[in-house]
């Protein structure tokens, strides 16, 4: 859980990292809203507002329960990042933008068939569940980073608690779930097309990250022998 007293007692660099992360999240929400409403040509889009409200709710819950150290780590400049990771991160941004752009244009021109309210609400529920799974992974794994890197300066160890008992990369499972749920929540079947590319890129990142951890993180090979699946129990 975030410790605000620790933030008050921390050094300026720590506070700066926390504020940078918060600013980045706020900017993310604003950019998402702009893409959706500009593409739709209207702000009178009920399910987009519900989706954004669910996003804000998820951010607030994360801020309450995420360890302050982890918030700061996600806000500071990342060092010792695996060479392939920045490339994948940039590639992931492309289908992310496209999914919201297509959803907005779909709202404007009605490419997809109208979905019932149950589909929209179901999408919102799975969106929140995906976010919850990511938060669960972050609360038990204090080395959960935005970049693939070994954090030996923070004493990184293998995490095998919480959702890590079932799969080795539960954070990516949550991200895949909420990305797939987003087009349904917004009512755009066409937005699923770039989202499938997002899922494929997450699968690639999972495999590369897993290989990195097997080679470089002490104890990970033993953990992988016990927890056999990366993303989907019984499958992969």
Distance, in Å, from the CA atom of 62 to the CA atom of 55, rounded to the nearest integer, reads 10
Judge whether residue 160 has pLDDT over 90.
Answer: yes
Residue 85 lies in a domain: yes
Residue 150 lies in a domain: yes
The number of C-alpha atoms within 13 Å of 226 and in the hemisphere containing its C-beta is: 11
Number of domains in the chain: 1
Q: What pLDDT is recorded for position 58? A: 93
Residue 132 lies in a domain: yes
The number of C-alpha atoms within 13 Å of 29 and in the hemisphere containing its C-beta is: 17
Residue 80 lies in a domain: yes
Range of the domain at 73: 4-226
Distances (CA, A) of 185 to 59, 116, 181: 18, 11, 6
Q: Mind listing the pLDDT tens digit for each residue in 69-127? A: 777 777 667 777 888 989 999 999 999 999 999 999 999 999 999 999 999 999 999 99
Residue 236 lies in a domain: no
Cβ burial of 185 (10 Å; 0-12, 13-18, 19+) is buried
Q: What's the pTM value of the predicted model, to 2 decimals?
A: 0.90
Residue 107 lies in a domain: yes
Kindly indicate the confidence band of residue 209, based on its pLDDT and cuts at 50, 70 and 90.
very high
Judge whether residue 173 has pLDDT over 60.
Answer: yes
* Mean pLDDT score, 188-210: 96
Q: What pLDDT is recorded for position 16? A: 78
Residue 214 lies in a domain: yes
Residue 63 lies in a domain: yes
């Amino acid at each position: 859980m975030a410790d605000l007293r620790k933030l008050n007692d921390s050094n300026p660099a720590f506070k700066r990292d926390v504020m940078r992360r918060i600013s980045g999240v706020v900017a993310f929400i604003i950019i998402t809203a702009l893409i959706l409403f500009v593409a739709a040509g209207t702000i009178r889009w009920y399910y987009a507002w519900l989706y954004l409200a669910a996003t804000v709710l998820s951010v607030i819950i994360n801020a309450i329960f995420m360890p302050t150290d982890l918030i700061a780590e996600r806000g500071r400049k990342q060092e010792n990042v695996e060479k392939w990771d920045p490339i994948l991160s940039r590639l992931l941004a492309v289908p992310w933008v496209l999914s919201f752009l297509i959803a907005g244009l779909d709202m404007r021109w009605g490419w997809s068939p109208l979905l019932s309210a149950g589909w929209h609400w179901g999408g919102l529920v799975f969106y929140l569940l995906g976010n919850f799974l990511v938060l669960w992974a972050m609360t038990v794994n204090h080395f959960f980073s935005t970049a693939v890197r070994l954090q030996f300066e923070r004493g990184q160890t293998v995490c095998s608690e919480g959702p890590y008992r079932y799969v080795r990369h539960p954070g990516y499972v949550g991200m895949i779930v909420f990305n797939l749920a987003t087009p349904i929540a917004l009512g755009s079947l066409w937005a699923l097309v770039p989202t499938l590319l997002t899922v494929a890129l997450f699968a690639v990142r999972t495999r590369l990250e897993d290989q990195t951890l097997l080679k470089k993180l002490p104890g990970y090979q033993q953990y992988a022998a016990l927890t056999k699946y990366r993303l989907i129990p019984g499958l992969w």
